[in-house]
Chains A and B, each alone.
Chain A
Amino acid sequence: MARIGVFVCWCGSNIAKMVDVKKAAEIAGGFPNVVYSADYKYMCSDPGQNIVKDAIREHKLDRVVIGSCSPRLHEPTFQRCIGGADLNPYMVEMANLREHCSWVHDDREKATDKAIDLLRMAVAKVASDEPLYTTKLPLTKRALVIGGGIAGIQAALDIANAGYPVTLVERTPSIGGHMAQYDKTFPTLDCAACILTPKMVDCASNPNIQILSYSEVEDVSGFVGNFEVKIRKRARSVNFEKCTGCGICYSKCPVRKIPNEFDEGIGDRRAIYVPFPQAVPNVPVIDRENCRWFKEEKCRACEKLCPSQAIEYDQEDEILTEKIGAIVVATGFKTWDHSAIGEYGYGKYKDVITSLQFERLTNASGPTEGKVARPSDGKTPETVVFLSCVGSRDENHGYPYCSKVCCMYNAKQALLLKDKVHDANAYVFYMDIRANGKGYEEFVKRTIEDYGATYLRGRVSRIFESDGKLIVRGADTLAGVPVEIQADMVVLATAMEPQTDAKEMARKLGVSTDQHNWFTEAHPKLAPVEALTAGVYFAGACQYPRDIPDTVAQASGAASKVAVLFSKDEITSEPMIAYIQESSCAGCHLCASVCPFTAIDMVEVTDPRTKKPKMVARVNAGICHGCGTCAAACRSQSAKLRGFEDTQILAEIEALAEITSGF
Chain B
Amino acid sequence: MDIQEIRNKAKRLLESGEVKVVVGYERGSTESKSTPAFIESPDDVDRLIWDATCVNNLAAYAIQEAKNGGVAIIARDCDARSIVMLVQEHQLDKDAVRVIEVPDETQWADDPALPESLEERRAFWAKEFEKCTRCYACRQACPGCFCNTCFIDRIVPRWAAKRAGASDAWMFHVTRAMHQAGRCGDCRECSRVCPVGIPVHLLAREIETFVGELFDYKAGMDMDADPVLGTFTPEDPDPNEHGG
Contact = CB atoms under 8 A, between A and B. Distances in A.
A583 interface: yes
Interface of B: 67, 89-91, 146-151, 154, 156-159, 179, 226-227, 229-232, 234
Given A635-B151, A636-B150, A647-B156, A588 B231 contact: no
Nearest to A515: B234
The 10 closest A-B pairs by CB, nearest first: A593-B230, A636-B147, A584-B149, A663-B157, A588-B89, A635-B179, A584-B148, A646-B157, A589-B90, A647-B157
Nearest to B145: A635
A590 B150 contact: no
Contacts of A587: 90-91
Given A593-B230, A594-B230, A663-B158, A588 B148 contact: no
B90 A615 contact: yes
A612 interface: yes
A164 to B, nearest CB: 36
Contacts of B149: 583-584, 636-638
Contacts of A594: 229-230, 232
A583 B148 contact: yes
A636 B229 CA distance: 15
17 contacts: A515-B234, A584-B147, A585-B148, A586-B91, A586-B148, A589-B230, A590-B89, A593-B227, A594-B229, A612-B67, A633-B230, A635-B151, A636-B149, A636-B151, A637-B154, A650-B157, A663-B159
**Which of A515, A587, A637, A646 has the most CB atoms of chain B within a 10 A radius of its CB?**
A637
Contact of B147 (A586, A612, A650, A663): A586
A521 B32 CA distance: 67
Nearest to A663: B157
Interface residues of A, number: 23
Interface in A609-644: 612, 615, 633, 635-638
A587 B86 CA distance: 11
B157 A635 contact: no
B226 A635 contact: no
Given A590-B229, A594-B230, 11 more contacts: A586-B146, A586-B147, A589-B90, A612-B67, A635-B151, A636-B148, A636-B150, A637-B151, A638-B148, A647-B157, A663-B159
Contacts of A647: 156-157
Contacts of A593: 226-227, 230-231
Contacts of A584: 147-149
Contacts of A663: 156-159
Interface in A575-619: 583-590, 593-594, 602, 612, 615
B91 A588 contact: yes
Nearest to A589: B90
Interface in A636-663: 636-638, 646-647, 650, 663
Contacts of B157: 646-647, 650, 663
Given A635-B179, A636-B149, A590 B230 contact: yes
Nearest to B154: A637
Interface string A444-462: 0000000000000000000
A590 B231 CA distance: 9
Contacts of A637: 149, 151, 154
A615 B157 CA distance: 25
A265 to B, nearest CB: 35
A635 B147 contact: yes
A633 to B, nearest CB: 7
Contacts of B226: 593
A585 B179 CA distance: 15
Nearest to B231: A593
A586 to B, nearest CB: 5
B189 to A, nearest CB: 18
Nearest to A602: B90
A638 to B, nearest CB: 7
Contacts of A589: 89-90, 230
A588 B230 CA distance: 10
B154 A590 contact: no
Contacts of A635: 147, 151, 179
